[in-house]
Structure 1
Amino acid sequence: MSEQTTGINAVKLDPNMAIRQVGDEPLKWLSPKDKPFHLAGFYWFEQDNKYRRLPAAPSASLPQQVNELANCTAGGQIRFQTNSSKLSIKVKLSGIGNMYHMAATGQCGFDCYIGEIGQQRYCSTTRFDHTKTEYESMLFELPTKRQQCITLYFPLYQGVEEIWIGVDPDAEVSEVPAYISDKRIVIYGTSITQGGCANRPGMAYPHILSRSIPLEFINLGFSGNGRGEPEVAKVISEIDNPALFVLDYEANVGTYERMEATLPEFIRILRSKHTTTPILVLSKIRNAAECFSTDAENRRHRMRHIQMEIVEQLRQSGDRHVHFLDGGDLLGEDFAECTVDGIHPTDLGFHRMAHHLLPVIQNLLTDVFETPNKQQY
């Protein structure tokens, strides 16, 4: 006689796992597209009115996969101040949570942080049914009103069609303190740059960095498709006032020959518009395969050497603003324990990446900071 099993439903057994229901209290619903909300991470938003990471009608023909992935909202932020005792959001997504190795909260959720840059503290993440494309979620409910700076991080691996922010009917909403400059940090790369596989949006390494560096960050990580195409470089070069370009695309480039061909050309295209902007070439992090395969380790070393040589050649030719950093050291000695699948970092991995990248990036921002900002996240 066989026993029929129905599985364990932890949500029913543990109330802390349940989706938090929004109360019946009336709220005032506002669109972050309107003032005084500040949207960051969507450079082409004013042009296209879309939560999208590349222009809707780009000047160069983009690869189809890159064009589709640009609808993922990784890197997007909503910034504002409010004295509301409650904060909720209504969201309409382009699709559902459907990844086997990434939490729905990271793929489709929003994170809420409270405090000014350098003092931001995690508050909450949306709770929702990951099988649906629309949800409403309470982010906080406080006993008293007090003025606070709020940062909401957009989903990493899904598109957002609409979002509304709910506050107390009598709450005040105002602008946050401006960034210290209108310059931007632009990070181009792979799924790891995009945020795969952070448990929640705020733990992607560009977001962790953004909580210490008071500049806008633009996340141009394209999962599986950071391949260094010149068409992509041309569109990226159109971003005004870059403080820094980070090129972190080795993991998707494929062959040694493709790295040798794409990296100099990518940098040349950026230089055609931005002659002295610092460019940081970042080789890829280590993965679990290197624990068991000398071929995998040797491949990474050769790819690293190719990038180092290209950067050195450019520097010898007079470009003193291009730099190289070995990404193989970012995760530490126990690098395999920092991934969810041997390749993509967990939150621990992203924390370590940001920890090691922060002082490097700060030291490259000498045109923004008279004295490098040494705040820690």
Structure 2
Amino acid sequence: MMNNEKQIIFYNANSAYFNVHGLPFASKEHPFWRLPDDVFISQTIEFLKQHPSGAYLSFATASPSIRIKASVSSKAYMPHMTATGTLGCDLYIRKQNSWVFLATTKVNEENYDITIVEGLPSKRREYRLYLPLYIALNHLAIGIEENYTIEATEPIKPEKIVFYGTSITQGGCATRPGMNTSSIVGRTVDYEIINLGFSGSAHLEPEMATVIAQLKDIKLLILEVEANAGDALVLKDRLENFVNIISQTQSHMKVMLISHYPYALAAYKAAIKARFVDHYHFQKQLCHQKGWEFVDGEVLLRKLNFEESVDGVHLTDLGFYFLAVALKKRIKNLLG
């Protein structure tokens, strides 16, 4: 489709001009869903699986300007999370061997068509466009100037790191899509990153484990589930079996289990503190028995003195960044 006024040609995001990363279960009918169309786990996950958290497009073009045309299911709907993080797209550019943030879509509309960057010197550059964290993406097209070409880059990597967890894993409450932990980590490792964070819904269902087990060549499974599974009283009952189901199809998969992140009220409410201590010892002992990597979530962020949170629970960009830095070191130690 061509816009004559600005001489922009749009290319559908789920076309051969792009590689779409982080969505191994996507279908032609639902190209931005994180789980298979025909899998039902819970009503909440049925809603959240439509949010393409952690996914991105990779492409290259020499076009001086890039436009984003998107249709999402609603405007931003959370008081503690920005519109850019909820429904926006982040554009990153390759600079030598690193990925550098370039621009974001500053908009809060169900349908938007905006120029995300313009006036660049004409030169072929590689880009990543990160997709919304907390909204269903119904349609996405990338526009470039007429007489320029666009092509897919970064072939999908066979080896994977899978993040499964709570709203924090999904990206609540990053200010923009590129700032959730899985995306920050993904810019520094040579693995395909799959984000399966589901807000309030990391309940370790065996059906979810069966879906994850369908993936091939998982090198590392990172679990952050206590805040949901612990409150739902299923952590002790389901955790070991959840990993066992996935392990049956993965010959070389390693497991990292992260306990609860800092929570200020735990310092003042004895019942919360006692529950955290109980879950801490259970998870640490199970990791020791199974040969998994145990990571104390509270220790990871303790030095930030609770400044890493937007509401006492969910992380800000500060928290996501520090968490990613800590996890990158552990991932390198585990996978080399």
The TM tier, using the shorter chain, reads over 0.9
Residue 114 of structure 1: aligned partner: 93
1:9-88 alignment runs, 5 A limit? 24-46=5-27, 48-58=29-39, 61-88=40-67
2:245 is aligned with 1:269: yes
User: 1:73 corresponds to which letter in structure 2?
Assistant: P
The 1:99/1:255 distance shift into structure 2, 3 A limit, reads closer
2:327 is aligned with 1:364: no
Greater C-alpha Rg:
1
Deviations 1:153-205 (A, max 9, x none): 111000101001000111121232446x4111110000000000001111101
The CA deviation at 1:25 is: 1.5
Deviations 1:275-306 (A, max 9, x none): 33111111121112134334333322221111
Residue 343 of structure 1: aligned partner: 313
Question: TM-score normalized by structure 2?
Answer: 0.94
- Structure 1: 5+ residue runs without aligned partners? 1-21, 316-321, 366-371, 373-377
Deviations 1:237-258 (A, max 9, x none): 1111212111111110135852
Q: Stretches of 4+ moved more than 6 A in 1?
A: none
CA contact (8 A) 1:287 1:335 kept: no
The CA deviation at 1:46 is: 4.7
Deviates more, 1:304-313 or 1:186-195: 304-313
2:136 is aligned with 1:159: yes
User: 1:231 corresponds to which letter in structure 2?
Assistant: E
The CA deviation at 1:38 is: 0.5
Partner-residue secondary structure (3-state), 1:333: helix
CA–CA distance in structure 1, aligned partners of residues 207 and 160 of structure 2: 21
Residue 171 of structure 2: aligned partner: 195
Partner-residue secondary structure (3-state), 1:45: coil
CA–CA distance in structure 1, aligned partners of residues 70 and 161 of structure 2: 27
The CA deviation at 1:90 is: 0.3
Partner-residue secondary structure (3-state), 1:202: helix
User: 1:362 corresponds to which letter in structure 2?
Assistant: K
Q: Which residue, 265, 287, 294 being the options, matches 1:289?
A: 265
CA–CA distance in structure 2, aligned partners of residues 30 and 116 of structure 1: 24
The 1:355/1:23 distance shift into structure 2, 3 A limit, reads farther
Residue 168 of structure 1: aligned partner: 145
Residue 14 of structure 1: aligned partner: none
Residue 142 of structure 1: aligned partner: 119
The 1:32/1:47 distance shift into structure 2, 3 A limit, reads closer
CA–CA distance in structure 2, aligned partners of residues 334 and 97 of structure 1: 28
Residue 352 of structure 1: aligned partner: 322
The 1:256/1:275 distance shift into structure 2, 3 A limit, reads farther
The 1:23/1:294 distance shift into structure 2, 3 A limit, reads farther
CA contact (8 A) 2:283 2:294 kept: yes
Deviates more, 1:295-304 or 1:32-41: 295-304
1:204-243 alignment runs, 5 A limit? 204-243=180-219
CA contact (8 A) 1:110 1:153 kept: yes
Higher share of residues assigned strand: 2
The 1:351/1:118 distance shift into structure 2, 3 A limit, reads farther
Deviations 1:207-264 (A, max 9, x none): 1101111221111000001111111111111111212111111110135852111111
Q: Which residue, 147, 162, 171 being the options, matches 1:186?
A: 162
CA–CA distance in structure 2, aligned partners of residues 206 and 327 of structure 1: 15
CA RMSD of the aligned region, Å? 1.9
CA contact (8 A) 2:203 2:232 kept: no
The 1:47/1:301 distance shift into structure 2, 3 A limit, reads farther
Partner-residue secondary structure (3-state), 1:115: strand
- Identity among equivalent pairs (%): 31
The CA deviation at 1:72 is: 1.0
- Structure 2: 5+ residue runs without aligned partners? none
CA–CA distance in structure 2, aligned partners of residues 338 and 363 of structure 1: 25
CA contact (8 A) 1:118 1:213 kept: no
User: 2:65 corresponds to which letter in structure 1?
Assistant: K
Partner-residue secondary structure (3-state), 1:313: helix
Residue 300 of structure 2: aligned partner: 330
Q: Number of paired residues?
A: 334
Residue 99 of structure 1: aligned partner: 78
